[in-house]
Homo-oligomer: A and B are copies of this chain.
């Protein structure tokens, strides 16, 4: 951590800051430049709020050099973490597809969807039983009944299950039916929930918050990582920007960036990332090419009559066509990565 004093800071102001640094048990390196004094803090600054020093007289700004997400960081864990979902691997170089409806609407609907998902090559079935909705008057999900249908349909077609847990009190319930616990975008910084799901040992699918920075996302993963034994799967699902032609702005650069900064795998969600079904296949392809470890995608046997998110769901035909495209591109990506190391300049 570095503290930059203002150009007009007095000796006394500098001394006050130095004393405070020593008070909290750190050493300090003092650099007197022509215009400003710059203080370097030595020691473990992970628990020190850099911003707190900004309230001191004479301090211009502070800069945090060391990140605060040790267990999530690739720095201390250089090898990729491969998440094993009861035999299905995520992060091992393959491209894993999770597919299913936005909402579980009934047993027949989810069975039909599971069959389509499986035939297209998905390994994991998605589907919402508890639905967070902007309006209190909108459909809120089938709850436990939905979880049962989801598990039954997945088992029938040899798929694993991912579904969202919205509430600390539902963790045990959801964990009985689901192989991966998903944390939705609205809960990316629900820290109690993060700590609690981290204790289940199940893999956690951590969606990026609608306005979550990369740094906040990595710190949210750290709440899972410190709390227990659960590995994290990052899910890029688009961020909120001024652009309204798409539902969100799908930030695909997050894929190589997270891979650089963390050892946990990252998958993409082109359905929420774009919000428009005919943009889903090209963005799914782009996800493969950017190096994602998989995707989660919304499909429905009859999108026009879906109870939610029909406008961004693929039907059987378009899903199967997309999965074929994914396969062709994935083969090309395998060829690239088998021949070469990760691109390094120098």
Contact = CB atoms under 8 A, between A and B. Distances in A.
A167 B189 contact: no
Interface in A103-160: 132-138
A314 B222 CA distance: 32
Interface of A: 2, 4, 7, 16, 20, 29, 31, 33-36, 38, 40, 42-43, 46-47, 49, 51-52, 54-57, 60, 63, 65-66, 68-69, 75, 132-138, 166-169, 186-187, 189-192, 195, 210-211, 213-216, 219, 222-223, 226-227, 239-246, 249-253, 255-257, 260, 273-274, 277-279, 281-283, 285-291, 303-311, 313-315, 317-318, 321-322, 324-325, 328-329, 331-333, 335-336, 340, 343-346
Contact of A304 (B56, B169, B223, B244): B56
Contacts of A240: 211, 242
Contact of A190 (B169, B190, B195, B274): B190
A215 B136 CA distance: 13
Contacts of A332: 328-329, 331-332
A256 B283 contact: yes
A294 to B, nearest CB: 15
Given A277-B345, A325-B340, 12 more contacts: A16-B304, A31-B38, A55-B304, A55-B310, A134-B215, A166-B191, A213-B245, A246-B257, A249-B249, A256-B282, A282-B290, A322-B343
Contacts of A253: 246, 249-250, 273-274, 279, 283
Contacts of A243: 213-214, 239, 251
B318 A138 contact: no
A336 to B, nearest CB: 5
A216 B134 contact: yes
Contacts of A308: 49, 52
Contact of A2 (B38, B186, B252, B304): B38
Most buried by B among A190, A213, A322, A345: A345
A219 B136 contact: yes
Given A211-B242, A250-B252, A287-B286, A68 B216 contact: no
